Structure formats: structure tokens, C-alpha cells
Amino acid sequence: MTISDERSSGAKQGSVNRATPRKILREVTHPALIPGIGVEDTPRKFGTNWAVFGIAGVAVLAVVLWGFLAPDSISAAGTASLGWVTENFGWLFSLLAVLTIVFMFVVGYGRTGGIRLGADNETPEFSTVSWIAMLFSAGMGIGLLFWGPAEPLAYFNDVPYGFTSEAGSNDAMLDALAQSILHWGPMAWAFYALVGGAIAYAAYRRGRAPLISAIFRPIFGERTEGWIGAVIDVFAIIVTLFGTGVTLGMGALQIASGVEYVSGIGPLGNTGLIVIVTVLTVAFVLSAVSGIKRGIRALSNINMVIAAVIGLFIFIAGPTLFLLDMIPASVAAFFGDLWTMLMRNPGQGEDAAAFMSSWTNYYWAWWISWTPFVGMFIAKISRGRTLREFVTVVIVVPSVVCIIWFGIMGGTTMLFESQGLGISDAGSSEAILFAVFEHLPFGAILSVFAMISIVLFFVTSADSAAIVMGSMSQRGKPEPTTWVTITWGILLGAAALALLLAGGETALSGLQSIMVVSALPFAIVVVGIMISWAKELRTDPYMLRHRYARAAIAQGVRRGITDHGDDFVFGATEVAADEGAGAGIDSEDPALTEWYETATGQMPIVSAEDVTRTLEPGRIQPKGPDNPDHTASGDASLTVGENRRGHRDNHHDTPPEKTAE
């Protein structure tokens, strides 16, 4: 029986009471027509996972105390571990970066691109502008203001291994921007897209908890609800806090540098850092408990405007013509140097090994460590998008913004340096931004706007992290309990503050090294996510409909040409079981329906409406290869009817795929 058949008969017979999901699926609908189910529509209960909460919390406190009591020790341990990881597994990070972006482009622009991260007819919750703003603020945030001018300048003065340009030359500028684009462009966002898309798919289409552990159900089965899932979630919380803590530490240092520049009061010292981190911790905790819609969305939209104003002002008031040449040239340089950058490895000598350890492998590990946090947040705000739309926006749009941003900030910085303005004399990386502002009109005002933007980036990144960590410690609860969110927010702020007070940049450097080391096992998790998600996408109802469509159209075309030559159109009728479009498809395979049974298995009453309610008749799209909702019966096949020339009817000139009903 098809969905439409059930609607007509349901009006006469009423709902099916106390039927099991298996019976519903067998008697009511076809596996290819299951519309998807969101986690909130299942009977899943969200309670605090005390094992995850306790173990992760104790581990975080231990590292914070280590950083406070023995900063030299944490730095030494991190440096030694970093050297071992880079020497033995640096190749894995580089290979994984390439595999991830290839995988996501195949998922987004292949046949799976039409799959929706939600039910078939679900619409996005946020506007595209707000969606992009939240992606941008949570995904990189402070790092863009911190490294936008500083990283290209570092490459300009010390050309990375493998490039042939001379330090300080125009060619070195292009090489510097190309290297920055590699680290901050499509490959970085592909990591986020992979984890975010996989979580959103599992939670909003397959009805599982929005957890990284839930992605692995196709591999580990029910064990993801036990100790295996707990281990994955504990580790996800720990790497989330470490990765976010590093960024917040950099943000606090840069805010302090900005205050020193604008006020001229000199170094703030520990007192200034305590005030900055305390005030910002209160701010992001309040934002987090206000909810995503009211807090993060509002701050993200404001911050996007401020950052855009800063970039636009520098573009107009700075070396405009130079930047107009530099930005597109940097894209060409990126693709031209891509092979050189990807093939750089420690085996090429000490210089190559040092660069990979300090820059490229560090960035890949940093993005991997941020994937639990950013991925879960992206999943929350991307519900209702198709995979094609998801990949386009999450990877391509932010990458374009990063290219323009680094072109403006880095290009201006390198030009000023080449003109003898001594930008690099500013010393620390966090001071480079304000050194550039000194040589622009209204530099003090720009510095104030930059500090406001850093503060907002700080708040949006931290409150997103607090919400995500709270969700992970409460079995994926979409809106974690307030006290849990506050707890993780305080721990996050305390971690950043303790590390800063313990040793400033030395402690942060040690934590950065530990973050790289902790990213190694999570790199294996990322590989597992690709395997598990690919396995599940193959059995998605949308993909099943594609299989039926291809088989039915191919069979119908052959029969039409054989029976009627050029003059035929398509229709649908029932045929013998071994002659239909589904003859080669096992629609009784339990793998096609078990996921729905698992999601709804605890419901005391399951009616036909529980299966079909998300398929509104008015929302059904035209049938065709892009949305091949043909017959629900595996024994149906396309039939052909003669349509003689000169006799127009309502099917004349209609493409075959539009009439395959």
C-alpha cells in the first residue's frame, strides 16, 4: 500500500492502535517512503549522563591544575608529545585533510546531495544570512582577527619550505596568502562540515541523539548507548574545552593588547587578564543560557556587521588598488602552489619538519579538535537544509570570506612591512593587528571596533561551546539544563584564566601542544565518521527512490521504443513481481527499516499518521530523477502509451521523468 492509498483508507478505518513500528512499516508504507524522523519526535529521554559529566569534569580540572601549578611541566610534556606525534603521524593529518574535503564534495554534489538534514518536507529554522553569521562566528571567530594580519606577515618574512620566492618580495606575498588560504580555507571547513552534517543527519533524519557517538551506530550498534558511546563523548568534551580554551586565551591576550594600545597605560598584567576573562565569562554564560535564538544569533549578526565594516574600511582607506590585484592573484597562487603545500612533509628535511609541526599539522589538529564543538553547533543550526545546500554554504561561503579577509588584512600588513613601517617590530602576534591600525586613518577607532568584535567572537564561541558541552553531558539534549550549561561555561572560563595566569603564552603553548596530541585519536574518529555515514547514506529512503527511478525509467524507455518507436509517454501500472522496477532491490532488508523501528520502538501507540504526517500533500515535489517519488510498490513498473503525432493531450511535450507516476 502506498502513502496515498493509506490516506484514503485511513479516513474510513481510523488510526492503527498499538501496532508495532515493524507492522506499520510492513502494512502501511514502503521503506523508500519513510520521510525521516527528528529526535524530538521519538520517545528518547534526555537526562544527565553522570559518568560523562563527572569523568570529563575531573579530567578538565586536572589539566587546569597542572597548568597552574607546573606550567613548565605542561609545556615540556606538550612539546615532547607534539614532536612524537608530528614525526610519526604528521602524514595522517595531511592525508585526512584531503580525504575529508573530497568526501564532503562527493556527498554534497553527488546523488546524495538532495538528502535533507531532517524530514523530507522540513524547512530551515534560520534565515540564510543568520545561518552564515552563526557559522562564521562559531567556526573561527577570534582566530581571524588574531592571525589575519600576523600569519601572512610571518610567511612574508620567513618563506615556508618548498616555495622559491625571496623573503620580502611580491612573490613572497602571494606565497604567504596561498599558505594562509590552505590553513583557513576549504579544508578547515570540510572538517566542520563532515562532523556537523553527520550529527544533523543522525539526529534529525534518523531520530538518534545529537551526539558524535550516535554517528557510529551503523558500526557499533546498540553499544553506542553504552560504554563505547560514553568514551567517545567524554573525549569529545575534553578536546572541545582544550581547543576552545586555546582560542579564548588568544582572544584575552589580544583584548589586553588592544586596551594597552588605545589607552596607552602600558602592560595590564595579571590583574587586567583576570578582569577581562571574568567579565567575558559572565557575558558568554548569560548568552548561553538565553538560548541559541535570542543570544547567539543576535550577537553573531551584530558581529558579522562589525567585522564587515572593519574589513571594508581597511579595503577602502588602505591600499585599495593593491588589494584588488592581490586578492584574485592569491587564489591563483593557492591552486598553483597547492601540490607543493600538500606534498610538504618532514622527510624533506628539518626545515620542512619544523614548518609542518609549527603550522600545517598544528592547524589540521586544531580544526579536528574543534569538530565536536563546531560540528554539533552547526548541526543544531543547519536542520532542514539539503546536503548540497549544506556543503555549499558550510564549506564554500566561509572559505570565500576567509580568502577576502586574509587578502585584505594580510595584504595590507605585508605591504606596510615592505614599505618600511616596521609592523613586525610590534613583537607578539596579538599586537600586529593594532600596529597595522596605527598607519590607517582613524586607527584608534578601528582598534575599538576590533576589540568589540573580538569580545563578541569570544562570547559567541564560548557560549556555543558551553551549550554543546552541556548537550554532550546530557545525552544529546537539544537545550541542555541551565545549571549544566553554566557549569561548563564556568569551567571553560576558569581553564582559560588559570592557564593565562599560570604562565601566559607559555602555558597556552603547552596546551596547544597537548591539544595536537589529543587530536590524534580523534583523527581516527573522523575516519570512522566517514565510513559510518557513507554506509548509512546508501540506505537512505531518498537514495532508494533514486534506485527505483533509474530502474523504472530505463525499463520504461526500452519498452517504449520497442513497442511504439518515437511516439510514447510514461505511466505506471502494476506488473509481475519479477518484472517491476524493484525486482533487483530487496525492500524487505531489515537494514532499510530497523533505524525507524529503533527510533520509534518505545512508542505505546503508533498510528499511520506517525509515519506519514511529515509528508504533506501540498508539499510533495514534482517527480523525477531529482525527486523520484514513484510508486511505493516494488512490483510496479513504468508503462508506455502511444501518443500519435498531431493529437495533443495533457501529457504531450512533458519530459518522461515528470510523468513517471
47: Cα separation from own chain's centroid: 26
> Is 60 exceeded by the pLDDT of residue 443?
yes
Q: Are residues 337 and 368 in the same domain?
A: yes
Look up the domain containing 275 and give its range: 41-59+82-117+130-538
- pLDDT band, very low/low/confident/very high, at 238 (cuts 50, 70, 90): confident
* Lowest-confidence region among 74-83, 102-111, 514-523: 74-83
Is residue 261 within 8 A of residue 428, CB to CB? The reply is no
> Is 70 exceeded by the pLDDT of residue 38?
yes
Fill in the DSSP letter of residue 587: T
Helix (H) or strand (E) holding 571: strand 568-574
Q: Are residues 94 and 144 in the same domain?
A: yes
Tell me if 181 is assigned to some domain.
Answer: yes
* Lowest-confidence region among 85-89, 514-518, 634-638: 634-638
Percent of the chain at pLDDT exceeding 90: 26
Higher pLDDT, 572 or 193: 193
> Is 90 exceeded by the pLDDT of residue 329?
yes
> Is 50 exceeded by the pLDDT of residue 610?
no
Q: Which of 142-146, 521-525, 557-561 has the highest mean pLDDT?
A: 521-525
Q: Are residues 623 and 514 in the same domain?
A: no
Q: Are residues 518 and 584 in the same domain?
A: no
| CA–CA distance, 432 with 413 (Å, rounded to integer) | 8
Q: Are residues 465 and 609 in the same domain?
A: no
* Lowest-confidence region among 396-400, 426-430, 580-584, 626-630: 626-630
Give the Cβ contact number of residue 41 at 10 Å: 17
> Is 50 exceeded by the pLDDT of residue 103?
yes
Is residue 316 within 8 A of residue 466, CB to CB? The reply is no
| CA–CA distance, 74 with 466 (Å, rounded to integer) | 24
| CA–CA distance, 116 with 119 (Å, rounded to integer) | 7
pLDDT of residue 636: 43
> Is 60 exceeded by the pLDDT of residue 606?
no
> Is 70 exceeded by the pLDDT of residue 138?
no
Tell me if 220 is assigned to some domain.
Answer: yes
The C-alpha angle 561, 564, 570, rounded to 5 degrees, equals 75
Tell me if 66 is assigned to some domain.
Answer: no
- pLDDT band, very low/low/confident/very high, at 293 (cuts 50, 70, 90): low
Query: Which of 538, 568, 602 is the endpoint of a domain?
Result: 538
| CA–CA distance, 458 with 360 (Å, rounded to integer) | 24
Q: Are residues 649 and 500 in the same domain?
A: no
pLDDT of residue 591: 67
Tell me if 146 is assigned to some domain.
Answer: yes
pLDDT of residue 510: 61
- pLDDT band, very low/low/confident/very high, at 200 (cuts 50, 70, 90): very high
| CA–CA distance, 563 with 540 (Å, rounded to integer) | 35
pLDDT of residue 650: 36
The whole-number average pLDDT for the span 176-184 is 95
Q: Can you give the CATH number for the domain in which 160 is found?
A: 1.20.1740
The whole-number average pLDDT for the span 167-174 is 93
Q: Are residues 370 and 519 in the same domain?
A: yes
Tell me if 8 is assigned to some domain.
Answer: yes
pLDDT in tens, 499-531: 777 655 555 566 667 777 778 888 889 999 999
Query: Which of 508, 538, 568 is the endpoint of a domain?
Result: 538
Higher pLDDT, 67 or 454: 454
Q: Are residues 426 and 391 in the same domain?
A: yes
pLDDT of residue 601: 62
* Lowest-confidence region among 77-81, 104-108, 415-419, 450-454: 77-81
Q: What are the C-alpha distances in Å from 28 to residues 6, 25, 544, 604?
A: 6, 6, 17, 18
Q: What are the C-alpha distances in Å from 487 to residues 469, 484, 511?
A: 10, 5, 21
- pLDDT band, very low/low/confident/very high, at 637 (cuts 50, 70, 90): very low
Higher pLDDT, 64 or 528: 528
| CA–CA distance, 149 with 415 (Å, rounded to integer) | 11
Q: Are residues 501 and 558 in the same domain?
A: no
> Is 70 exceeded by the pLDDT of residue 464?
yes
The whole-number average pLDDT for the span 383-408 is 92
Cell numbers 546508501 correspond to 538
| CA–CA distance, 232 with 574 (Å, rounded to integer) | 48
Is residue 305 within 8 A of residue 469, CB to CB? The reply is no
Higher pLDDT, 553 or 586: 553
| CA–CA distance, 410 with 429 (Å, rounded to integer) | 13
> Is 70 exceeded by the pLDDT of residue 568?
yes
Cell of 541: 529512503
> Is 50 exceeded by the pLDDT of residue 659?
no
pLDDT of residue 533: 95
Tell me if 69 is assigned to some domain.
Answer: no
Residue type for position 398: P
Q: Are residues 498 and 401 in the same domain?
A: yes
Higher pLDDT, 89 or 576: 89
pLDDT of residue 106: 96
Cell of 642: 502511444
pLDDT of residue 388: 95
Mean pLDDT of the chain: 78
pLDDT of residue 410: 95
Tell me if 64 is assigned to some domain.
Answer: no
Tell me if 534 is assigned to some domain.
Answer: yes
CA torsion angle 351 355 361 366 (round to 10): 160
- pLDDT band, very low/low/confident/very high, at 622 (cuts 50, 70, 90): very low
The whole-number average pLDDT for the span 625-642 is 41
| CA–CA distance, 643 with 649 (Å, rounded to integer) | 8
Higher pLDDT, 123 or 579: 123
Q: Which of 95-99, 136-140, 500-504 has the highest mean pLDDT?
A: 95-99
Q: Are residues 405 and 512 in the same domain?
A: yes
> Is 50 exceeded by the pLDDT of residue 327?
yes
Helices (H), 30-141: 50-69, 71-109, 128-139
pLDDT of residue 183: 94
The whole-number average pLDDT for the span 462-470 is 85
**Closest-CA residue to 381 (of 200, 142, 247):** 200
* Lowest-confidence region among 128-132, 193-197, 306-310, 418-422: 128-132
Percent of the chain at pLDDT exceeding 70: 79
pLDDT of residue 72: 73
The whole-number average pLDDT for the span 54-77 is 81
Number of domains in the chain: 2
The whole-number average pLDDT for the span 255-266 is 76
Q: Are residues 160 and 216 in the same domain?
A: yes
Residues 6+ apart with CB under 8 A from 219: 528, 531, 532, 535
pLDDT of residue 508: 59
pLDDT in tens, 416-436: 999 989 899 887 777 898 899
* Lowest-confidence region among 2-6, 114-118, 155-159: 2-6
pLDDT of residue 632: 36
The whole-number average pLDDT for the span 22-46 is 69
Query: Which of 538, 561, 580 is the endpoint of a domain?
Result: 538
Q: Which of 58-67, 108-117, 281-290, 495-504 has the highest mean pLDDT?
A: 108-117
